[in-house]
Amino acid sequence: MDDKQWLSDYFELYRESLFGVDVRPQLVELTRILKETHARGKKTIIAGNGGSASISSHCAVDITKNAGVRCVNFNEADLITCFANDYGYELWLEKAMEFYADEGDVAVLISSSGKSPNMLRAGQFALDHDMKLVTFTGMEPDNPLRQMGHLNLWVDSRAYNIVEMTHHIWLLAVCDLIIGSAEYSSLPSR
Protein backbone atom coordinates (compact mmCIF):
# COMPACT_ATOMS: atom_id res chain seq x y z
CA MET A 1 0.00 0.00 0.00
CA ASP A 2 1.41 3.41 -0.90
CA ASP A 3 1.42 6.36 1.51
CA LYS A 4 -1.43 8.18 -0.24
CA GLN A 5 -3.70 5.15 0.04
CA TRP A 6 -2.69 4.66 3.68
CA LEU A 7 -3.66 8.27 4.42
CA SER A 8 -6.93 7.87 2.53
CA ASP A 9 -7.76 4.82 4.65
CA TYR A 10 -6.64 6.66 7.79
CA PHE A 11 -8.84 9.68 7.12
CA GLU A 12 -11.72 7.32 6.42
CA LEU A 13 -11.40 6.14 10.04
CA TYR A 14 -11.96 9.75 11.14
CA ARG A 15 -14.93 10.14 8.84
CA GLU A 16 -16.46 6.99 10.32
CA SER A 17 -15.79 8.14 13.90
CA LEU A 18 -17.38 11.54 13.26
CA PHE A 19 -20.29 10.51 11.06
CA GLY A 20 -20.79 6.77 11.63
CA VAL A 21 -23.15 7.42 14.54
CA ASP A 22 -25.27 10.55 14.83
CA VAL A 23 -24.13 12.23 18.07
CA ARG A 24 -25.80 15.56 17.28
CA PRO A 25 -28.58 14.98 19.85
CA GLN A 26 -25.98 14.29 22.54
CA LEU A 27 -23.94 17.35 21.58
CA VAL A 28 -27.08 19.51 21.72
CA GLU A 29 -27.86 18.03 25.14
CA LEU A 30 -24.32 18.75 26.36
CA THR A 31 -24.65 22.32 25.11
CA ARG A 32 -27.90 22.68 27.07
CA ILE A 33 -26.29 21.21 30.20
CA LEU A 34 -23.32 23.58 30.04
CA LYS A 35 -25.47 26.65 29.46
CA GLU A 36 -27.95 25.77 32.23
CA THR A 37 -25.14 24.97 34.67
CA HIS A 38 -23.56 28.34 33.93
CA ALA A 39 -26.90 30.14 34.28
CA ARG A 40 -27.24 28.64 37.78
CA GLY A 41 -23.83 30.08 38.73
CA LYS A 42 -22.11 26.71 38.67
CA LYS A 43 -19.08 25.57 36.69
CA THR A 44 -17.97 22.80 34.39
CA ILE A 45 -14.88 20.76 35.23
CA ILE A 46 -13.17 18.95 32.35
CA ALA A 47 -10.44 16.39 33.08
CA GLY A 48 -8.48 13.65 31.38
CA ASN A 49 -5.12 11.86 31.34
CA GLY A 50 -2.36 12.31 28.77
CA GLY A 51 -3.76 13.49 25.44
CA SER A 52 -7.18 13.77 27.03
CA ALA A 53 -5.70 16.16 29.61
CA SER A 54 -4.50 18.35 26.75
CA ILE A 55 -7.97 18.24 25.21
CA SER A 56 -9.49 19.23 28.55
CA SER A 57 -7.13 22.21 28.83
CA HIS A 58 -7.81 23.46 25.32
CA CYS A 59 -11.57 23.04 25.52
CA ALA A 60 -11.91 24.48 29.04
CA VAL A 61 -10.14 27.66 27.95
CA ASP A 62 -12.15 27.99 24.72
CA ILE A 63 -15.47 27.30 26.42
CA THR A 64 -14.65 29.92 29.06
CA LYS A 65 -13.10 32.61 26.86
CA ASN A 66 -15.01 32.23 23.62
CA ALA A 67 -18.35 30.79 24.74
CA GLY A 68 -18.55 32.67 28.06
CA VAL A 69 -19.29 29.53 30.08
CA ARG A 70 -17.16 29.08 33.21
CA CYS A 71 -15.07 25.97 32.77
CA VAL A 72 -11.95 24.72 34.58
CA ASN A 73 -9.51 21.84 34.35
CA PHE A 74 -6.89 20.40 36.69
CA ASN A 75 -3.76 20.28 34.54
CA GLU A 76 -1.38 22.25 36.71
CA ALA A 77 1.75 20.14 37.23
CA ASP A 78 2.05 21.20 40.86
CA LEU A 79 -1.54 20.16 41.61
CA ILE A 80 -1.20 16.78 39.90
CA THR A 81 2.19 15.93 41.39
CA CYS A 82 1.27 17.14 44.88
CA PHE A 83 -2.02 15.27 45.01
CA ALA A 84 -0.57 12.16 43.32
CA ASN A 85 2.32 12.18 45.79
CA ASP A 86 0.14 12.75 48.85
CA TYR A 87 -2.90 10.61 47.93
CA GLY A 88 -1.74 8.29 45.11
CA TYR A 89 -2.27 8.62 41.39
CA GLU A 90 -5.58 6.77 41.47
CA LEU A 91 -6.92 9.34 43.96
CA TRP A 92 -5.42 12.62 42.77
CA LEU A 93 -8.35 13.66 40.58
CA GLU A 94 -10.95 12.66 43.15
CA LYS A 95 -9.07 14.75 45.74
CA ALA A 96 -8.86 17.71 43.34
CA MET A 97 -12.61 17.51 42.88
CA GLU A 98 -13.07 17.28 46.64
CA PHE A 99 -11.20 20.57 47.03
CA TYR A 100 -12.57 22.45 44.00
CA ALA A 101 -15.93 20.98 42.88
CA ASP A 102 -19.27 22.18 44.16
CA GLU A 103 -22.64 20.48 44.26
CA GLY A 104 -24.45 21.25 41.02
CA ASP A 105 -21.28 21.50 38.93
CA VAL A 106 -20.79 19.39 35.82
CA ALA A 107 -17.88 16.95 35.48
CA VAL A 108 -16.81 16.12 31.93
CA LEU A 109 -14.40 13.20 32.12
CA ILE A 110 -12.42 12.17 29.04
CA SER A 111 -10.87 8.70 28.94
CA SER A 112 -10.12 6.87 25.71
CA SER A 113 -10.40 3.47 27.39
CA GLY A 114 -12.98 4.43 30.00
CA LYS A 115 -11.01 2.28 32.43
CA SER A 116 -8.55 4.69 34.09
CA PRO A 117 -8.90 4.24 37.86
CA ASN A 118 -8.50 7.95 38.60
CA MET A 119 -11.28 8.83 36.12
CA LEU A 120 -13.57 6.17 37.59
CA ARG A 121 -13.00 7.48 41.11
CA ALA A 122 -13.62 11.06 39.95
CA GLY A 123 -16.80 9.91 38.21
CA GLN A 124 -18.02 8.26 41.38
CA PHE A 125 -17.19 11.41 43.34
CA ALA A 126 -19.30 13.45 40.91
CA LEU A 127 -22.24 11.09 41.28
CA ASP A 128 -21.93 11.02 45.07
CA HIS A 129 -21.92 14.84 45.24
CA ASP A 130 -24.92 15.64 43.06
CA MET A 131 -22.91 16.65 40.03
CA LYS A 132 -23.93 15.93 36.45
CA LEU A 133 -21.45 13.45 34.92
CA VAL A 134 -20.66 13.57 31.21
CA THR A 135 -18.24 11.01 29.77
CA PHE A 136 -16.20 10.91 26.59
CA THR A 137 -14.80 7.43 25.97
CA GLY A 138 -13.86 5.00 23.22
CA MET A 139 -12.53 1.48 22.81
CA GLU A 140 -15.00 -1.00 24.35
CA PRO A 141 -18.69 -0.02 24.26
CA ASP A 142 -19.28 -1.34 27.77
CA ASN A 143 -16.34 0.43 29.41
CA PRO A 144 -16.94 1.28 33.08
CA LEU A 145 -16.80 5.08 32.78
CA ARG A 146 -19.41 5.07 30.02
CA GLN A 147 -21.69 3.05 32.29
CA MET A 148 -21.54 5.76 34.99
CA GLY A 149 -22.45 8.94 33.15
CA HIS A 150 -25.68 10.84 32.83
CA LEU A 151 -24.63 11.66 29.25
CA ASN A 152 -22.08 9.49 27.43
CA LEU A 153 -20.33 10.15 24.14
CA TRP A 154 -18.51 7.10 22.83
CA VAL A 155 -16.22 6.67 19.82
CA ASP A 156 -16.37 3.27 18.14
CA SER A 157 -12.63 2.88 17.66
CA ARG A 158 -9.70 1.25 19.38
CA ALA A 159 -7.15 3.70 17.94
CA TYR A 160 -6.15 6.28 20.54
CA ASN A 161 -5.56 9.12 18.07
CA ILE A 162 -8.92 8.56 16.39
CA VAL A 163 -10.72 8.47 19.76
CA GLU A 164 -8.90 11.50 21.18
CA MET A 165 -9.26 13.70 18.11
CA THR A 166 -12.94 12.82 17.78
CA HIS A 167 -13.46 13.82 21.42
CA HIS A 168 -11.61 17.07 20.71
CA ILE A 169 -13.74 17.88 17.67
CA TRP A 170 -16.97 17.08 19.53
CA LEU A 171 -16.08 19.33 22.48
CA LEU A 172 -15.05 22.20 20.22
CA ALA A 173 -18.28 21.73 18.25
CA VAL A 174 -20.16 22.26 21.53
CA CYS A 175 -18.13 25.42 22.15
CA ASP A 176 -18.98 26.72 18.69
CA LEU A 177 -22.63 25.72 19.10
CA ILE A 178 -22.81 27.84 22.26
CA ILE A 179 -21.21 30.73 20.38
CA GLY A 180 -23.48 30.15 17.40
CA SER A 181 -20.72 30.27 14.83
CA ALA A 182 -17.68 28.35 13.65
CA GLU A 183 -16.10 31.60 12.41
CA TYR A 184 -15.49 34.34 14.95
CA SER A 185 -12.81 36.74 16.00
CA SER A 186 -10.46 35.55 18.72
CA LEU A 187 -10.27 39.11 20.02
CA PRO A 188 -12.85 40.26 22.55
CA SER A 189 -15.23 42.91 21.31
CA ARG A 190 -14.82 46.29 22.92
Q: What is the pLDDT of residues 121-171, one digit of tens each?
A: 999 999 999 999 999 999 999 999 999 999 999 999 999 999 999 999 999
- What is the three-class DSSP state of 23? coil
Provide the pLDDT for residue 173: 97
> What per-residue confidence (pLDDT) applies to 186?
64
pLDDT band at 190 (very low <50, low <70, confident <90, very high): very low
Cβ–Cβ < 8 Å for 133, 109:
yes
Q: Which residue has the higher pLDDT, 182 or 162?
A: 162
Mean pLDDT of the region 36-42: 98
Element at 142 (helix H, strand E): none
pLDDT at 46 over 80: yes
Tens of pLDDT, residue by residue over 89-122, are 999 999 999 999 999 999 999 999 999 999 999 9
Q: How many CA atoms lie within 13 A of 61 on its CB side?
A: 7
- Indicate the domain borders of the chain: 23-179
Dihedral through CA 115, CA 29, CA 177, CA 66, nearest 10?
-60
Q: Is the pLDDT of residue 189 over 90?
A: no
**The domain 23-179 is classified under which CATH number: 1.10.275.10, 3.30.420.10, 3.40.710.10, 3.40.50.10490?**
3.40.50.10490
For β-strands 44-48 and 71-73, DSSP reports them as parallel
pLDDT of residue 15: 94
pLDDT score at 182? 75
Give the residue from 71, 18, 56, 34 showing the smallest Cα distance to 178: 34
Which of 97, 110, 94 is CA-nearest to residue 171?
110
pLDDT per position as a tens digit, 49-93: 999 999 999 999 999 999 999 999 999 999 999 999 999 999 999
Closest to 137 measured CA to CA, from 121, 115, 117, 169:
115
Q: Closest by alpha carbon to 136, among 118, 114, 157, 116? A: 114
125 contacts 94 by C-beta, under 8 angstroms? yes
The kind and range of the H/E element at 174 are helix 160-179
